[in-house]
Amino acid sequence: MNLFLNLRTHLWANAFRPFFLATSIHALVSILIWILILFSFLKPPSITGLISFHSYEMVFGFARAAILGFLFTAAQNWTKTILIRERSLLVLFSLWVLGRFSWIDIPILSNVAFLSDFVCDTFALYLLAPTLMKKGQEHNRVIVVCYTLFAFAHGLAILSILGILSSMLTLHWIHISIFLVLIFIILIAGRILPFFTTVAVANSSPRRIQRVETLTTYGSFLFIGIESFLFWFPKLQVVAGFFALAFTGSQALRWFLWEPWKSRRTPILWILYLSYFWLVLGLFFYGLSHFGVFPVSLAFHILTVGSIGGFIYGMITRVSLGHTGRIILASKTILFGYICITLAVFARVLFPLFGFANIGYGASAFLWMLSFAVLLFKYWNILIEPRVDSPNK
């Protein structure tokens, strides 16, 4: 009875609650299904290619759930306005859930699910854009631009999967969507990591240089632009490679200016810095992949497992505590989760790099699932129960 009451009363009060729970559950279930398919224990879905199915779900299932949970929570703080709650939150969440059935080989269900998945993006923009585009919110308009591009790439990926556009474009648009998720991380990290460090770490003085921040913002969208046209202009590979390496340099400088080493005694902070380091490293190797000297798949998994997975994990652990009135401190159990998701990156990249691909796939999947099982175990009650400092919130 108490569980039902909590789900009804508190779960739908804030966007981070259902979407962070969904992110964690999806991380477990989707990778379990993926690894069972990969090792031939399950029949793969035939609506799309195996790699496309896996990539699509990790971007538009896992990552997008976390983005929606964070954006609607943060935007309400930025604007001091309630953007979503209860019914509208339930509708948005239901659209996301229905979208998870898009890969099932039942044409009517699949088409409805793909439509629902895209409507989820348009509804999110409908709720976010009017407030974030108002006068006085100029610094937040980039969030709307980024999510609009994300929704556009999502739509193109769906059209490619359904054969309305060339199916050869499916992975291209999913990869562009991965880069857009990374831009969200770049934008959000620039706002929160220096602040978190100043608050949590004594004698720290992270620097946020405006020229570097401006270069980062415009460089991010230029990076997306160059990568978007590579499919049609493969001769741009060298240009794209050099730009990716230059962009890596700007991100490395930014990371260094934040003094990440000072967070080493604060796990709930260093997991975010480590995730940003994976972003820097992943972009570096992705730049090298344009010259054919590093496997592009491994570069993408540094970016996805390491940067996206790690940053989402870290933000869920921090935001959930802070927005439920709890002390922002990682428990020993969650520290174990941080270690597991970090080891998952090493397993996914190093084993295949040295010719032991299947061991890498299995080990990284196990470590990934273990880390999110730990997260669900520790945070389930936190996300469905009332704030500890005010039962009515």
Question: What does 229-250 look like in DSSP terms, one character per residue?
Answer: HTTT-GGGHHHHHHHHHHHHHH
Average pLDDT of the residues in 140-165: 96
Q: What is the mean pLDDT of the chain?
A: 93
Q: What is the pLDDT of residue 1?
A: 46
pLDDT of residue 380: 95
Which of 47-51, 247-251, 252-256, 284-288 has the lowest average pLDDT? 47-51
- The distance from CA 79 to its chain's CA centroid, rounded to whole angstroms, is 23
End-to-end, the C-alpha distance of the chain in Å comes to 20
Q: Is the pLDDT score of 330 beyond 70?
A: yes
pLDDT at 10 (0 to 100):
81
389 domain residue, yes or no = no
Q: Taking residues 85-109, what's their average pLDDT?
A: 93
- Report how many domains make up the chain: 1
Pairwise CA distance, residues 376 & 23, whole Å: 10
Let me know the angle formed at the C-alpha of 132 by 128 and 135, rounded to the nearest 5 degrees. Answer: 150
Mean pLDDT in residue range 344-358: 97
In this prediction, residue 6 carries a pLDDT of 55
User: Does 182 score more than 70 pLDDT?
Assistant: yes
Query: Is 311 within the bounds of a domain?
Result: yes
Q: Is there a domain that residue 95 lies in?
A: yes
Identify which of 120, 25, 13, 22 has the alpha carbon closest to the alpha carbon of residue 73. Answer: 13
Residue 354 covered by a domain: yes
Residue 313 falls within a domain, yes or no?
yes
In a domain, 125, yes or no: yes
pLDDT bin (cut points 50, 70, 90) of residue 49 is confident
Residue 191 is part of which domain span? 10-384
Residues 207, 237: contact at Cβ < 8 Å? no
Q: Max alpha carbon distance in the chain (Å)?
A: 63
Question: Which of 3-17, 56-70, 325-339 is least confident?
Answer: 3-17
Q: What distance in Å separates the CA atoms of residue 169 and residue 159, rounded to the nearest whole number?
A: 9
Does residue 393 sit within a domain?
Answer: no
pLDDT tens by residue, 198-226: 988 888 889 889 899 999 999 999 999 99
Residue-level pLDDT at 171: 95
pLDDT tier at 95 (50, 70, 90 boundaries)? Answer: very high
Bigger pLDDT: 237 or 5?
237
Domain for residue 1, yes or no? no
Nearest-angstrom CA–CA distance, 100 and 62: 10
∠ Cα 303 99 83 (to 5°): 80
- Residue 7 pLDDT greater than 80, yes or no: no
**According to DSSP H, which parts of the chain are helical?**
2-9, 16-38, 50-56, 64-79, 87-99, 107-132, 141-161, 170-200, 210-229, 237-257, 267-289, 296-301, 310-322, 332-353, 357-384
CATH number at residue 271: 1.20.210.10
Three-state DSSP state, 390: strand
Residue 190 to residues 67, 194, 213, Cα–Cα distance (Å): 16, 7, 8
**109: number of Cβ within 10 Å:** 14
Tokens for 183, please give them. Answer: 């831009």
pLDDT of residue 2: 54
Q: How confident is the model at residue 271 (pLDDT cuts 50, 70, 90)?
A: very high
**Residue percentage of the chain with pLDDT more than 90:** 82
Q: What is the pLDDT at residue 9?
A: 67
Q: What angle separates helix 2-9 from helix 357-384, to the nearest 10 degrees? A: 90
For the residues 126-131, what does the mean pLDDT come to? 95
Side-chain-side CA neighbours of 320 within 13 Å: the count stands at 28
